[in-house]
Structure 1
Amino acid sequence: MFVFLRKLIKKYPRASQRILEILPGFTSWTFILFPVWGSIFWPIGVAYFIIAFNVYWLYRSTTLAWAGVMSYYRIKAWEKYDWMGDVVGFADWKEVKHVIVLPTYKEPGEILVRTLQALEKQTIGPKQIIPIIAMEERAGEDINAHREALIRKAFVGKFAGLFFTYHPANLTGEVVGKSSNASWAGKEFKKMLTKRADWKLDKMTISSVDCDVALHPNHLAAITYMFLDDPNRYRKIWQGAIVFYNNIERIPWPMRVFNRMSSVINMAQLSRPDRLINFSTYTLSLKLMDEINYWDTDVIPEDYRIFFKTYFATKGEVEVEPIFISVSADAAEANGFWSTYTNTYEQVKRWAWGASDDSYIIKEYILDDGAPFWDKTIRVFKVIEDHFMWPVNWFIITVGANMPPLLNSTFSRTVIGRTLPQVSSAILTLSLISLAAMVLIDLKARPKVADLPAWRKMAAPFEFVLLPIVGFFFSALPGLDAHTRLMMGRYLEYRVTEKKA
């Protein structure tokens, strides 16, 4: 079977690429519309499908909540731990340098200063850190010059090195975005590295860090320890818990609910090694990054791509290892409710555009003959499951059980037709226990804001009553939008999420 598929892909590279791009949208629409047309022509099949899906959802929500609880307590322990006490036990720890790539477009200089201040406060010491401010030439000379001057004035001489790169516009074959910018920065640093005899490539890590991220003071110390302690350090990617808490209390209620839930889910993923893939802000050895020739320049989503690129290039040796330390990022924010809504929607649509990588992942899975079969099969299946079902979950859970009795009056008079909504409701009610656990995790994990009004603190647990509405507008709809665009060949252009200082 694989031999035949490999021949097809090699013989028809463009046609196979296009078919695989159609697949996520086709699958999503098929599942979403099945309860509609199926209720008319095959209502009994729809009924059992709905019940099975609800059981599946109960399992997913239960395991997610349990993983969230485990991650929360691990994060609290890791953030308090004296990582430097372990690091100094390695004689060569001072040789380890951390290259921090900060891709930026037109974000305010104050945001970058805040991110660099967090790096300066790392317990490993700023002299072990090399920030690279990866700017875009297309942002304009005035904006870039102002930000470079601001940063140089504040941080000159404080780090082991501080570099600025300027990614040229309109390079042939490139797609505008974080991935191409980071790739340019990484390759430029490799050129600079030849001038520093005291910096060794095999003793360096490289991190992709969003420019609005504030790393916990222990973050790089923990990575230093794990890097030095692991004999397989050149086959690891390290991932922290991305939490959107920097500005969580400033954004409007619906967007706040979405980002609070997203933060808990990101924490939970650290305790799910079967589903853990690097996202947004992550670290790997510079040696491994150089081995695969840095980030790809012709894609928008770079995080899942970098994992599978390293995974297949090393014949399945690469693993993502959790760092149980929070990585504090900004939630999408703009001026006013509707601008913030649009900003959040576009950000989620860009995340959902990760389905565009599925064609690459599936092709590499078929063409690969080096990675262990079951390991690569499980990894690829989990990604496909998450991507393909992204827009589907909300529709099946929220309205699916009502479709057969509503659209087929004959079926509604049968026993299963009358009881389907009640059975479905009972299963989903059990999921509320998991939701309550996730709300509690958020309340305990979210930083306390001193001047937050008392009524806001009291109302915080009840904000989640908007979750069904939030799930539609910030998960199902942007996910379906991205899948449909990909299916129709209307490719997404990179849209930078607006940042507020």
Structure 2
Amino acid sequence: MQSISEAVKKNDNKVQRILEIIPGALTWAVLTSPIWFGKLLPVWMNFFLTWLAVFWVYRAFLHTVGLFIGYGRYKKEIAIDWLEKCRQLKLNELPNADQLPASFDQLYHLILIPAVNEPKDVLEGTFMSIYQNNYPKEKIFVALTVEQKGEKNVGNTFAEFKEKYGHNFGGFFMFIHPADIPNEAKGAGAANRTWGGRHVVEELRKRNIPLERVIFTTFDADSQIHREFIPRLTYAYLTDKERQDRFYQPAAYLFHNNIWEVPTLMRIQASSLSLAILSSWVFDPFSKDTFSAYSVLLTTVIDTGYWDVKLGVDDTPFFWRTLIKRDGKFSGKEFYVPLYSDAVQGETTIKSYISQYKQLLRWGWGIIVFPIAIKGFLTNSKIKPLDKLVRVFRMLEQYTIWYTIAFLITFGFSLFHLINPSVEQTALGASLPKITGYVLTGAFILLLPIGIFREKLTPPKPKTWSVWKRIWTTLEGPLVILNMLTFNLIPYVDAATRLMLNKRLELWFTPKIRAECKKS
């Protein structure tokens, strides 16, 4: 009898297509449920909408508690000299000490930065943040991998910085990723990262650097790291008994480089994402995957085969490919020393909104990991069944519930009653919307502590601002509801729909425009 694994492999194209349809189909089924489900089973539709409201309040409460804990860890960690703590460690007494070098000085860092055509002020901020880190520069290798169209502009910036500071590092490299390589997704960061990754590994081999002693980090060209970032990462790696099957990520991922220069909804989106990442690491580290900035052993990158150059998304597929290859033994571990990145900003307000939509559409295209994950689970029997179930549930929860929940809570009862007016005449149909309204009204109280943490984590407002502008930006927090109904919904449904209809996404690079902004 043919096994499930054999059947999946034999019918790979058909299975792939079915799995591409599922997320979009489920998303639309849930999104339109007040219409069809409300007609078929009105009582259950009432309970479903009420459950969504209670679930949203529960998650909002959990989010608030997560912020309280996460912010405390953030403040504690940025006050510590992590290099000194690393030097105080006795490596031979640490968990699985046989995996570690004999001396702290035999550990290296490689930072790979993909670039397209970023301006000088963006790249200089990134380079300087690495240079100013509290870590021996000679143990750090930096590699910039640049798309061919940006060779001249980015190359000039790279050359200037290398001339001034490059001699301090163990190595300072730039590689040009050629355009139009066959079988590569155009504009995909995966192809650029893979090109740079393979070439810098060859450079390290020429220098006889033991690759198993190299901690690899990649982040975007607009990112700036806190001066304790590298030593804190090092400490996390050294003290972790599961270090060879881990990725490390900053829980304090703050989109604050230009936070006070962007339009209101861009600021709401950026700060909401920063807060969501911080709180989610506190309560749900199991469900985290590689996103934007992450660190692993360099040998992990090599064993996984770098990034899949045929895919339009690079970060999340790397996690799933590694997880499946390692039979489910690959997970994340956070630290709270921050990384700073840019909020989306265009040359005009309209261009900012367009850029934000396109960026979120690209992020939404990360839904392509669903077929990767499911096929991997079906063909790999060594992964624990419970782990498979939890991860599949988390993915489906995100696609079908979390992206649609604001729309359903806001408009669900109205659509339901419009389609099925008789429901309002029942005691249940009349009372549940009122109860839900009371629950949601009470939940708005949580916007106060969330707003306080937002203020604490963002840089000080510009001194040139008027009093009224300062007040407005302080009170704009409730607009997160508008953001959830637009930018947190439409691009993600768009991406799932495109995948469902077998329409491929044309990748698009988010332009970087930097405004100087003092960080917290």
TM beyond 0.5: yes
CA–CA distance in structure 2, aligned partners of residues 380 and 219 of structure 1: 32
Question: Does structure 2 conserve the Cα–Cα contact (< 8 Å) formed by 1:354 and 1:387?
Answer: no
Matching residue of 2:99: none
The equivalent position to 1:254 in structure 2, one of 257, 265, 269, is 265
Matching residue of 2:482: 469
Matching residue of 2:517: none
Does 2:398 match 1:398?
no
Aligned residues: 498
Matching residue of 1:486: 499
CA–CA distance in structure 2, aligned partners of residues 390 and 4 of structure 1: 34
For the structure 1 residues 456 and 128, does the alpha-carbon distance in structure 2 shift closer, same or farther, using more than 3 Å as the test?
A: farther
1:355 Cα deviation after fit? 0.8
The equivalent position to 1:419 in structure 2, one of 422, 431, 435, is 431
CA–CA distance in structure 1, aligned partners of residues 121 and 7 of structure 2: 52
Q: How does 1:206-355 map to 2 (within 5 A)?
A: 206-240=216-250, 241-271=252-282, 272-355=284-367
Letter aligned with residue 184 of structure 2:
E
CA–CA distance in structure 1, aligned partners of residues 513 and 449 of structure 2: 31
SS in 2 for 1:207: strand
1:4 Cα deviation after fit? 5.3
Q: How does 1:53-452 map to 2 (within 5 A)?
A: 53-90=52-89, 92-137=103-148, 139-176=149-186, 177-197=188-208, 199-240=209-250, 241-271=252-282, 272-451=284-463
Name which of structure 1's ranges 461-470 and 162-171 shifts more when overlaid on structure 2: 461-470
SS in 1 for 2:159: helix
CA–CA distance in structure 2, aligned partners of residues 382 and 41 of structure 1: 27
For the structure 1 residues 452 and 328, does the alpha-carbon distance in structure 2 shift closer, same or farther, using more than 3 Å as the test?
A: farther
TM-score, normalized by length of structure 2?
A: 0.91
Matching residue of 1:40: 39
Letter aligned with residue 34 of structure 1:
S
Matching residue of 1:52: 51
Letter aligned with residue 120 of structure 1:
Y
CA–CA distance in structure 1, aligned partners of residues 471 and 459 of structure 2: 15
Question: CA RMSD of the aligned region, Å?
Answer: 1.9
1:451 Cα deviation after fit? 1.9
Letter aligned with residue 215 of structure 1:
I
Name which of structure 1's ranges 160-169 and 38-47 shifts more when overlaid on structure 2: 38-47
CA–CA distance in structure 1, aligned partners of residues 10 and 435 of structure 2: 50
Letter aligned with residue 62 of structure 2:
T
CA–CA distance in structure 2, aligned partners of residues 167 and 360 of structure 1: 26
CA–CA distance in structure 1, aligned partners of residues 121 and 165 of structure 2: 13
CA–CA distance in structure 2, aligned partners of residues 347 and 470 of structure 1: 15
Q: Which structure 1 residue ranges, 5 or more long, are not aligned?
A: none
CA–CA distance in structure 2, aligned partners of residues 44 and 207 of structure 1: 52
CA offset digits 1:94-148 (Å, max 9, x no partner): 22211111101111122111101000011113222211111012x1543344333
Question: Does structure 2 conserve the Cα–Cα contact (< 8 Å) formed by 1:270 and 1:323?
Answer: no
Q: Which structure 2 residue ranges, 5 or more long, are not aligned?
A: 90-101, 515-520
SS in 2 for 1:30: helix
CA offset digits 1:140-197 (Å, max 9, x no partner): 5433443333333343312111001111222222113111111111111111122112
CA–CA distance in structure 1, aligned partners of residues 277 and 315 of structure 2: 14
Name which of structure 1's ranges 240-249 and 273-282 shifts more when overlaid on structure 2: 273-282
Question: Does structure 1 conserve the Cα–Cα contact (< 8 Å) formed by 2:24 and 2:497?
Answer: yes
CA–CA distance in structure 1, aligned partners of residues 399 and 67 of structure 2: 21
TM-score, normalized by length of structure 1?
A: 0.95
Name which of structure 1's ranges 229-238 and 314-323 shifts more when overlaid on structure 2: 229-238
CA–CA distance in structure 1, aligned partners of residues 26 and 170 of structure 2: 50
SS in 1 for 2:212: helix
Question: Does structure 2 conserve the Cα–Cα contact (< 8 Å) formed by 1:406 and 1:412?
Answer: no
CA–CA distance in structure 2, aligned partners of residues 461 and 406 of structure 1: 37
CA–CA distance in structure 2, aligned partners of residues 246 and 141 of structure 1: 25
